[in-house]
Structure formats: structure tokens, C-alpha cells
Amino acid sequence: MVVKHYLSLVKFSHTIFALPFALSGFFIATLEFGSADFLRIFLLVVLSMVFGRNAAMGFNRYLDRDIDAANARTSTREIPGGVIAARQALVFVLLNVVAFVVTTWFINPLCFYLSPVALAVVLGYSYTKRFTWLCHFVLGLGLALAPVGAYLAVGGQFDWIPVLLGAAVLTWVSGFDIIYALQDIQFDREQGLFSVPVKAGFMRALRISEGLHVLTAILIGAVVYLLDAAYPEFSPLLWAGAGIFTALLFYQHTLVRDEDLSKVNLAFFTTNGIASLLFALFLIGDIFI
């Protein structure tokens, strides 16, 4: 039962947003560098993703506990609801931070040396809504590290394809987080918190989100084009995955219009989760084919 509470604290099911892209970066790297020590690195990549995300989400819930308590939408979350004590949540965060760093040490020196940078981004995000409307982009940057980090775990060096894939994740996450933030636009204004909806208003925030997702589609197309050019043996499955991802990307924008927020959860959780999972499955499937 205790485990269930902590899984709920960090919204473990939302790992589906970043993990498919991390696995995409991992399998793209195996194309160039081979699959020596495949299982060990694969498991370490998955563990580092889980530990890093647990630390980030747990810290966000810890830092925002007073804000969450004041917001009717979030007042029943684990810490303000009294299910998990603030001190227990902080211990949980510290344990996951240590586990993340130790895991990167077993991957390779570059990942280990960059682990504090990754932690600074994913933990630092929780402060940003207190002073900048760019908070959505910091969240996007945190998830964008997933495909790049997974690629580095295999190859130990940077490359344009995982960087472009990371950029696509940045714009994708920033765009749908802006949609999610529409729910709290009035509360954030009253509390002096920052977000794109607070700064730009409801309709302009939606247009900004749409623009970011147009850029996401372009970046995903660039990634697929570069992969197809570098590896002619890829089948149309790769392009099909990109097409489905893009279609679902824009489908979510038909769900949130004219200040009707009744389908935000469908747009935010279901559509984006399915989109990331299908893209990764089509990409990885094409690699194996």
C-alpha cells in the first residue's frame, strides 16, 4: 500500500511520456555503435530514467505542497492530503537522486559527469513557475534529455539525430504542458505564479501551443528523414510512425477549444501517451525489421 502511495506521488504512469523517447534514442544508438553489452546498458538506461523522474516529480510535489494545498484541483494530492509526510517525500527524493547518480556511474564516465547537469534541470524546474513563464520550456528540456542521455549511454558521444529528437521532445512537452496549465490560469494569477496562459491569456496560449507542435512535427520529420537517409534499409514503417504521432499531436488541439477544459485530461494524458508510445514502437520495430 505504501508503494502505491509513492507511485501515485510521482505519477509513475506518466513515465510513458519520456521513456519511449529514451528507448528510441537508445535503439538509434545501437544502429551506429552496435549492441555490445546490450542488456546491461538497456536496464541501466531504464533505471536511470525511473530514478531521475522519481526525483524530479517527488521534488516538485514536495516544493509545491503549499501551493497544491491552496488549489482545489490539487488539494487532495499525497502531501497536502496527508497521505505522505513532506519529510518522507524529501527522503524519497534524496534516495532517488543518489540512485540516479550511481546508475549513471555504471553506464559510462560521460553520463556520470553530466548527471549533476541533468539533475539541475529536472529539479530546478520546480522553482521556475515562481519567477518565469518559461517554466514549460524548462520542463520540456528536462524530458528532452531522455533521448540524448540514452544515446550517450550507448555511444558516449553526441550526434545530431538524438539532439533533434530531444528538441522535438522539448517543443512537444512544452506545448502540451501549456494546455495543461490552462486549468489553473485563474489560480496562478491570484497566487502570483507564472505561466504562458497567465502571460498570454487563454486563446493566445492555445495558439502558442499549436505553434510549438507544428515545430515538433517538423523536427520529428527531420529525425525520420536523417535516419532514412543514413539507413536506406528502413521501411515505410518509420514514416508511418511519424505520421501517426503528428496526427495525434494535432488531434489533441481539437479537444481543447473556446475555454472548454472538460477534455484536458484526454488531450494531456491519453493522446500524448499513445502518441509517444506508438512512435517508439514503430521506430524500434523498423530497426528490428
Sequential pLDDT tens for the chain (289 residues): 578 878 778 776 677 778 999 999 999 999 989 877 899 999 999 999 999 999 999 999 999 999 999 999 999 999 999 999 999 999 999 999 999 999 999 999 999 999 999 999 999 999 999 999 999 999 999 999 999 999 999 999 999 999 999 999 999 999 999 999 999 999 999 999 999 999 999 999 999 999 999 999 999 999 999 999 999 888 889 999 999 999 999 998 888 776 667 777 766 678 888 999 999 999 999 988 7
20 membership: H or E segment, kind and range: helix 19-33
Cell numbers at 77, concatenated: 494530492
Confidence (pLDDT) at 18? 84
Residue pair 277/20 in contact by the 8 Å Cβ criterion = yes
Angle at 248 between CA 55 and CA 285, to 5 degrees: 75
Confidence (pLDDT) at 1? 52
Helix 202-230 vs helix 160-181: crossing angle, to nearest 10 = 160
Tell me the one-letter amino acid at 143. Answer: L
Residue among 179, 113, 111, 175 nearest 143 (CA)? 175
Contact residues for 269 (Cβ-Cβ < 8 A; gap 6+): 14
CATH 1.10.357.140 at 2-288, yes or no: yes
Cell numbers at 20, concatenated: 519511449
Residue 169 CA to residue 142 CA, distance in Å, equals: 9
Domain spans of the chain, in order of start:
2-288
Confidence (pLDDT) at 110? 96
- Predicted model pTM: 0.95
